[in-house]
Structure 1
Amino acid sequence: MRLSSIEIAKRMAGAGALALAAFAAVPAFAQEAAETAAEAAAPVMDKGDVAWMMTSTLLVLFMTLPGLALFYGGLVRAKNALSVLMQCTMIAAVVMVVWVLWGYSFAFGGGTSPFWGGFGKLFLSGVTMDSTAATFTDGVVIPEYVFICFQMTFAVITPALIVGAFAERIKFSAVVLFTVLWVTFVYFPVAHMVWDGSGYLFNLGALDFAGGTVVHINAGIAALVGCMIVGKRSGYGKDILAPHSMTLTMVGGSILWVGWFGFNAGSNLEATGGAALAMINTFTATAGAIIGWSVIEALHRGKASMLGAVSGLVAGLVAVTPACGSVGPVGAIVLGAIASAVCYFFVAVVKNKFGYDDTLDVFGIHGVGGIVGALGTGIFTAPWLGGTGADDFSIASQLWVQFVAVLVTVAWCGVVSAILYKLVDAIVGLRPEKEAETQGLDLTSHGEAAYHYS
């Protein structure tokens, strides 16, 4: 069929229009593709993760107040019970303020130094409701405020642990001043070295899932140095200095165990299988440690005590802290039992042999247990021992890295802590008068008593 010139012109015009429409659609398709790619690359925030991390943060705070306060409060004599509770309470408040003003920046300020985080986030500069913090899964984030609060509770409990070493014989003003200085020059740098992406020990490959070096070795070494510099309690080795309430200590220890699930499982930063692994290990390691300590004590002293059981409880929790995210549940049982045995030896034998007065065995349990846990992580992470290590995991190589991390923490904390104790002693003094110690710090330091007997 022959087309007229008009019909040909109409069809050509229609084809041109279709071509133009097709070309016009190209930018639109490209824009849609770009938007899809951007959506795919955008960080993901899961409400379940956020809720879990907020809960974990409260659990870690619960460890300090009232957990640690009651645990320590029951272990001292009645005349000093409130002084320990007050020290834990004030340390929590002071460290929270310090953390917001400069602590978070010094630990996680975004700097590239391997030893500290810099000034980039002083006073939480640049942090908003919309800013986020990374997790262990690429592209998954949580609100930065939640991460700040979670890490803050770790900074709170660490110096609170230290005061148990020189309980019943320390000035309240000395505790406050030392806490501010110690978190600034010891805790924040070590936290940066171990947990920040630019940290020295982090890049060395050290494994510390929830704070074996940062919290427990740090606190334990500072405690040992402190009890030696402050000196022994009046009447140590002569008078009866027994705990006034094992009931309070058991309650406080139980609260610590419950709160520790936030400490360990929360360190996964997500509500995933990693948190579940840390959770079950926090059960099994502690159980193994309680049994281990009680058996050893029964064989050594003829009876298994409540004080021994709760000491084993804490020793197991301490040891599994660095390992909970990378060892298997059975390996955790063994690790907890080993930690109990080593800690028992230091508490029952080494302390008496060398004569230092670590009042509440902070070094013997947290320091020694933290070292056992850190080194044990390098062993029990091996896949053939039930751990999560890769097929090419080398116990020897990882154990060396763990040893270096322990050595760096011990050296830095030991030297700087000694300097800070001497500085505090020169400024406000470390010990109260002997008469004040004899009367009890509750009345002489705080003007009140824990108990009123009719």
Structure 2
Amino acid sequence: MDTGSIAWAITATALVLLMTPGVAFFYGGLVKAKSVVSMMMMSFGALGLISVLWILYGFSMSAVDAPTDFAGNPFADFGLGSLATGETSNTDLLGATFGATFAIITVALISGAIADRAKFGAWMIFAGIWATLVYFPVAAWVWGGGWIMELGNTLGLPGVIDYAGGTAVHINAGAAALALALVLGKRVGFQKGITKPHNVPLVLLGAAILWFGWFGFNAGAEWLNGLANVGLIVVNTLGATAAAILGWMVVEKVKDGKATAVGAASGAVAGLVAITPACANLEPGWALLLGVLAGAVCALAVELKFKLGFDDSLDVVGIHLVGGIIGTVYLGFFAIDTGLFTGGDLGQLAVQVIAAAAVLLYSFAVAFGLGFAIEKTIGFRVKNADEVAGIDTVVHGEEGYALSEL
């Protein structure tokens, strides 16, 4: 492996790792001031826990010997001792570290659905078990030789396209977020406008960090391909995200009369989510259209929680689940050479829908069962009085802002 590719691998890994603090800023600004520490700690808790689990056994679980395997053997290289002593250990360990950053942020994304009302200890238990039962196996299904990766060969159709995680990251996290939102129930006084973001600049900062890091997220794996498609990936990551900002703001303006800064930031994230699976397989014009659609549809989708009665605090479902589905299924129509309208047939669409549906249903089922078990045993939700007062001091003994009494 040439030194330039290795250098890009290190850079991309650092970029993706920075995305989890970006999520913490983005989510932290959206909650009320008395919950910002709790919100950000769930991201940092995931960063610590999932990193350790990935090194111990998660990486070993993320690749399989045969498509029929559920997951890799967690004890195949416990603690990565063998990987660290092999002839290609330098690049192998880089690949393992890059994969860890995806596992970390996938778990962190879920936390936005349960903002303002979750116990930190219960969240950490959920995060560790969910990563073990869901993320590590799903990563094997999608990228590690598993059944989704081989679905096209099995059915005699084009292969599933998920370059950077539409299914494994965003649909996976979004489905789990929906499950936890249902288990923990609604916040006290839940209704439209229940809380306003306490710090809009923090939201914009988080979105900016996410966009910055996303170039590593989408283009990072190109170090294994000699950077062959990096130009297409980079321009699509820029274009789709920018178009999604416009799509979201137009919907806001038409619907509410004003385009907001939080809406622009949310639109950017929606565009990033949608382009994630498609970044290497769309012409730039189709990526722009995807961004506009994702921004507009997600701007409407975040209102569903009020109509359907589930309290997804920070719109993980409306942005990550819906955006992930849009980006994954869109490839069935517009993927280069294989999309229905770009030289292919219904085969690409079929495998994209199967993969998206399977990950959604599996993640939701496991997350719901796990969250329910935690809630009925040690309790997942804080007391209503603590929620109303703000949970930072109750859960962490800290306040986000030390304001003078004067």
- Using structure 1 for the length normalisation, give the TM-score: 0.84
Aligned counterpart in structure 2 of residue 209 of structure 1, from 143, 163, 184: 163
CA offsets 1:16-49 (integer angstroms, 9 cap, x no match): xxxxxxxxxxxxxxxxxxxxxxxxxxxxx11111
The answer on whether the counterparts of 1:169 and 1:233 sit within 8 Å (CA) in structure 2 is yes
Which residue number in structure 1 is paired with residue 117 of structure 2?
Answer: 169
Once residues 223 and 303 of structure 1 are traced to their aligned partners in structure 2, the CA distance between those partners, rounded to angstroms, is 28
* DSSP-derived class of the 1:202 partner: coil
Displacement, 1:240? 3.8
Which residue number in structure 2 is paired with residue 330 of structure 1?
Answer: 285
Over the matched positions of the two proteins, sequence identity in percent amounts to: 44
Once residues 286 and 395 of structure 1 are traced to their aligned partners in structure 2, the CA distance between those partners, rounded to angstroms, is 28
- CA separation of 1:129 and 1:203: change in aligned 2, threshold 3 A: same
CA offsets 1:284-339 (integer angstroms, 9 cap, x no match): 00011001111111111111111111111000000000000111111111011111
Which residue number in structure 2 is paired with residue 47 of structure 1?
Answer: 3
Which residue number in structure 2 is paired with residue 106 of structure 1?
Answer: 61
The answer on whether the counterparts of 1:129 and 1:145 sit within 8 Å (CA) in structure 2 is no
- Using structure 2 for the length normalisation, give the TM-score: 0.93
Which residue number in structure 2 is paired with residue 302 of structure 1?
Answer: 257
Displacement, 1:422? 1.6
Which residue number in structure 2 is paired with residue 28 of structure 1?
Answer: none
- CA separation of 1:377 and 1:83: change in aligned 2, threshold 3 A: same
Q: In the alignment, does 2:225 pair up with 1:255?
A: no
Q: In the alignment, does 2:228 pair up with 1:273?
A: yes
- CA separation of 1:425 and 1:60: change in aligned 2, threshold 3 A: same
Which residue number in structure 2 is paired with residue 123 of structure 1?
Answer: 79
* DSSP-derived class of the 2:164 partner: coil
Once residues 239 and 223 of structure 1 are traced to their aligned partners in structure 2, the CA distance between those partners, rounded to angstroms, is 20
Q: In the alignment, does 2:109 pair up with 1:148?
A: no
Indicate the structure whose relative CO is greater, using CA pairs within 8 Å and at least 6 residues apart.
2
Once residues 338 and 49 of structure 2 are traced to their aligned partners in structure 1, the CA distance between those partners, rounded to angstroms, is 45
Displacement, 1:155? 0.3
The answer on whether the counterparts of 2:165 and 2:276 sit within 8 Å (CA) in structure 1 is yes
The answer on whether the counterparts of 1:75 and 1:249 sit within 8 Å (CA) in structure 2 is yes
The code of the aligned residue for 2:150 comes to N
Which residue number in structure 2 is paired with residue 373 of structure 1?
Answer: 327
Aligned counterpart in structure 2 of residue 181 of structure 1, from 106, 126, 129: 129
Runs of 4+ with deviation above 3 angstroms: 109-114, 129-133, 382-387
CA offsets 1:153-192 (integer angstroms, 9 cap, x no match): 0000011000100100000111100000000001111110
The answer on whether the counterparts of 1:170 and 1:432 sit within 8 Å (CA) in structure 2 is yes
CA offsets 1:377-426 (integer angstroms, 9 cap, x no match): 22221349899x8xxx5241100000000111011111111111122223
- CA separation of 1:131 and 1:381: change in aligned 2, threshold 3 A: farther
The code of the aligned residue for 1:118 comes to N
Once residues 220 and 168 of structure 1 are traced to their aligned partners in structure 2, the CA distance between those partners, rounded to angstroms, is 18
Once residues 51 and 362 of structure 1 are traced to their aligned partners in structure 2, the CA distance between those partners, rounded to angstroms, is 33
Q: In the alignment, does 2:175 pair up with 1:221?
A: yes
The code of the aligned residue for 1:446 comes to H
The code of the aligned residue for 1:203 comes to E
Aligned counterpart in structure 2 of residue 321 of structure 1, from 249, 266, 276: 276
Displacement, 1:437? 1.1
Residues 337-352 of structure 1 aligned to structure 2 (within 5 Å): 337-348=292-303, 350-352=304-306
The runs of 5 or more residues in structure 2 that have no matched partner are 152-158
Once residues 407 and 240 of structure 1 are traced to their aligned partners in structure 2, the CA distance between those partners, rounded to angstroms, is 32
* DSSP-derived class of the 1:359 partner: coil
CA offsets 1:225-247 (integer angstroms, 9 cap, x no match): 11011011112128741110111
Displacement, 1:195? 0.3
The code of the aligned residue for 2:385 comes to E
The code of the aligned residue for 1:212 comes to G
Q: How many residues align?
A: 395
Which residue number in structure 2 is paired with residue 40 of structure 1?
Answer: none
Displacement, 1:111? 6.3
The answer on whether the counterparts of 1:129 and 1:143 sit within 8 Å (CA) in structure 2 is no
